Structure 1
Amino acid sequence: MSLTAFSSTTWGPIEKSILSALCHDWADKGRILDDLKPSDFFLTETQKLYSYIASEIEAGRPTDPATLSATMTDGVTRNLIIEISGTLPSTPTQIDRHIEKLKELSRVRTITRALEDAKVKLEQGEPSLEIASGLENAMKEVETDSPSACITIAECADKALEGVKAAIERGCLYAGIPSGIHKLDQICGGWQAGQLIGIAARTGEGKTALALQLALHAARFRWNKDTKDWDGKGHPVVLVELEMSAREIGHRAMSHLGGPPMWKMRDGSSMNDFDKANLHEARGRLDDIPFFVDDPPRLRLSELRARARRWRKKIGMELLIVDLLGKVSSDTKEKDRWREVALVSHGLKALAKELGIPVMAVCQLNRDSVGDGEAGLHHLRESGDIEQDLDVAILLTKREDESRKLKIAKNRNGFLGSLDLAFDGDHQSFKEIQREAK
């Protein structure tokens, strides 16, 4: 079916009936405005008229046919307004049916347009995965456009109680996925479903090393409520790595888990028998853990969303880590870089809520944060709305003695605080320094 196959005899009377209700003294105009958007209408002219009427109603101005004829001049003919004024107003029941029918036609158009666009791109030889991503986004648009059911505050409380009961039965101090850093888990309670967590630091201060350490711990350990211990298979984790190659991640992972220092693996001639044995053991520790790495050269937000949905379905992904947020591009070319970064951060937060998992984004701090002063959230590079989107913000700062200060600068559902970490650069690992958290 092509878009031209939509007959005006199908959508024409429906659109005119709805517009007529808005132009006449119909009681529940808000019902229409809440459920329909301009793009639900088929013709550009009716889209413009609906948009104009909606803005006038919201401003408290009259929208009778005579007023519209005198004030509406942009892209709408007087003939259309005359036709609408001559259309008999429908009953509330009829309007409800018209709204549902118009939305159904709109969804069908979205699907048809996506299929036609995919066919053209296939004929032009564009990459199949990009085409599939576009189709998946169109289907998601159709799904999210369907009516959503709100729930009562009592039902919200029931959902909260389910989490409390599960935590009690689990017998674990942390409700979320553990970080492996005790004080960090005490403050944050583990990584929670629907959270967007940011890890930010200056260049070369260990943000990727910390993200990898958190990923490895999550993938290796899961709380067993029967044994009351950290055992069994860990949480499925996906690391989207836009800074380094899979080979580099492999080096870091083995070194972190007891393998030789990074520099020895890069220069194999320096390894002795002891190093080789450690390397073999470290490699063995990576067997059968649900940790996956995707290292594309570039990635758009829509592609990331499509991949994340597939990972959630296929491998049961429970934690997504994106390194580096600034390397993900938005789907629309924005004039201002900060706006593009804001669109990406909005998208990652929405993705965390949609999939019901924590999403962790590694972020870069601005160069003007370099110095003796402590870094703050305002130092996030091209920050856009990252600070507002983050549920948990972790800032990593290097000290003169090579130790790191880890500061929880934002925690939407918990406490703020800081702790000290020792950094082993040879093995790209952090260890908590046993001091009182500030």
Structure 2
Amino acid sequence: MMDFPEIDDSSSSYQQVPDSALYSHEAEYALIGSMIQQSDLIDEAGGKLSIADFHHPACAELFEVVLGLRSRGRAVDVVTICEARPFLADGQSSVAVVGLLVQNTPSAANFDEYARVVKQRSVARRVIAAARIMSQRLIDGEPLDEVMSQGQQAWVSLEAEGLDSRRRYRFIKDILPEAIDGVDRRFNRTASLGFDTGLPSLDEFIPGICPGHVVVVAGTPGSGKTTLGLGIAERVALVKNEPALVFSLEMTDVELTNRSLASVGSVQLKHISEGHSMTDADWPGLTSAVNKLMDAPLIICDDSSLTLRDIRQICRTVKREHGLAFVALDYIGLVNGENKSSSRYETVTEISKGLKRLAKELAVPIVVLAQLNRGPSSRPNKRPTKSDLRDSGQIEADADVVILVHRDGESDAGKAGVTELIVDKNRHGPTGSCRVQHQGAYHRFVELIGNSYPSEEEVEMGRPLSNKYKGRRNDEKF
């Protein structure tokens, strides 16, 4: 151990905790010594650490002095430090202290390790301090939800600070092997870019719903946005056999399960819901759907009181315990805010930003369902645009892809289920639109036979098109 005068820790709240858990004076001594020995490390230390990260008061004081000299363009050595501050706050001579540090520093080459230890111990101390504050606030009678929410935000911040900053960036030479390996595996079809939607005409625009991406599916009530979102989740779980988590704040888990039974088994949802109207022809399809869904990694949460904090916590739990490949949220406008005094605009803005961060953190795609405002109803063609998203423009800003579900219920084509899927934003591909068939009775979308799309002229003329626009056979989805 270095022969460095120790501070009196008799009044410290940390005296009963092992030194290795909450502070390492040895690492602090060596860090300051390395900065003085090798001045080009000062800027790096300043970017990683703050004065508050040091437990030893003398080390914190010397760190401040060294950064101050550096910022003024002064040389940093024993002489300049002692000239700037002859004596430390505890009365020790700066010459004696700095001389010991420089003399006893093992090696400046280990600077990164010294900095890592100092930072991690600092985060550990603040975790304990935060826990004590939360405990006291609960004792004082503050609401549990409010204390937990602020505590989680503090923990996420501390967790990020504890990471090695070198892991937050990479040189392209280190990324290239991973990128080329991905190209090779996709070329050999041993891997795909992301999850497909099950609708080839839509996949022409979106070659894959990729990890870290946020895909917004928006529409007016009854347009089929839930059908599309749940359909993609079903495909991830059934076809890819990957865990898909669906948050439903509008429908119960039983209602969503009934829709999956109808979609997968080609049984009319009305028959499943009523029960008494089930026919002899329905039972084989229902049995088949049960067998397929029984072992499918499709997970449903129907808690209507969810906040962003709840969603984040559930996603992390599911990923840790079961794995997680896909998340769908129905829908963002129903997620509760954690700050009751915030406006709905501010709340949805924060939720949208949080979902984007969550997608990147967990490396999963998140399909976010959203409502449209009444803007499209005032237009002659009633076609929506991404600017019609309700509550906050941040939803559009955070989305990698925006899909607008549009069906004109007044036209014959619309009455026949012909639905336009408008890809109005696509960071990684083209925009455009395609038409698919909404099979409402089975709660699913399918491709139109032969791509027999109605022209704008036919739609405007309102010709009887219900027999022309038919979807695939009912048994072709899975």
Q: TM-score, normalised by structure 2?
A: 0.68
Distance between the aligned counterparts of 1:155 and 1:169, measured in 2?
A: 23
Deviation string 1:94-141 (CA, Å, 9 cap, x unpaired) is 99787545423321123313544676689889989x969967983784
**Match of 2:189, as an amino acid?**
R
Q: Which residue of 2 aligns with 1:414?
A: 429
SS in 1 for 2:188: helix
Which residue does 1:220 correspond to in 2? 238
The alpha carbon displacement at 1:185 in A equals 1.9
Distance 1:216 1:264 in 2: 21
1:336 to 340, 343, 349: 343
Match of 2:127 in 1: 111
Residue among 391, 394, 406 paired with 2:400: 391
Partner of 1:269: 276
**Alignment match of 2:385 (pick from 372, 376, 390):** 376
Corresponding residue for 1:138?
Answer: 155
2:463 alignment partner in structure 1:
none
Q: How far apart in 1 are the matches of 2:53 and 2:358?
A: 25
Q: Is the 8 A contact 2:435 2:453 kept in 1?
A: no
Which one of 280, 285, 290 corresponds to residue 292 of structure 2? Answer: 285
Whichever residue aligns with residue 278 of structure 2, its letter is M
Larger radius of gyration: 2
Change (3 A) 1:18 1:167: closer
Give the AA of the match of 1:146: L
8 Å contact kept, 1:110–1:142: no
User: Which of 176, 184, 195 is the aligned partner of 2:202?
Assistant: 184
Residue 239 of structure 1: which of 242, 246, 270 is its match? 246
What displacement does 1:369 show?
3.8
Distance in 2 of aligned mates of 1:161 and 1:208: 37
Report percent identity of matched pairs: 25
Change (3 A) 1:333 1:29: farther
Match of 1:431 in 2: 446
Deviation at 1:170, TM superposition (A): 1.8
Give the C-alpha shift of residue 288 in structure 1. 1.3
| Alignment-mate amino acid for residue 306 of structure 1 | Q
Change (3 A) 1:346 1:41: farther
The residue that corresponds to 1:154 in the other structure is 173
The amino acid that maps onto 2:322 is: I
CA deviation map 1:166-215 (0-9, x unaligned): 1122267x521121111222321121122111111122211111111111
Q: Confirm or deny that 1:365 pairs with 2:354.
A: no
After superposition, residues 2-401 of structure 1 pair within 5 angstroms as: 4-5=13-14, 30-36=43-49, 40=53, 93=108, 99-100=115-116, 102-116=118-132, 138=155, 141-142=158-159, 145-147=162-164, 148-149=166-167, 150-170=169-189, 174-222=192-240, 234-332=241-339, 335-372=342-379, 373-399=382-408, 400-401=410-411
TM-score where L is the length of structure 1: 0.74
- Pairwise CA distance, 1:153: 1.1
**CA contact 1:133–1:306 (8 Å) conserved in 2:** no
Q: RMSD of aligned C-alpha atoms?
A: 4.8
- Unaligned runs of 5+ residues in structure 2 are 1-10, 75-87, 456-478
Distance 1:152 1:14 in 2: 28
Q: CA contact under 8 A between 2:218 and 2:369: conserved in structure 1?
A: yes
Q: Secondary structure at the match of 1:109?
A: helix
The answer to whether the 8 A contact 1:319-1:359 is kept is: yes
Change (3 A) 1:199 1:61: farther
Q: Secondary structure at the match of 1:299?
A: coil
C-alpha change, 1:314 and 1:258, in structure 2 (3 Å) is same
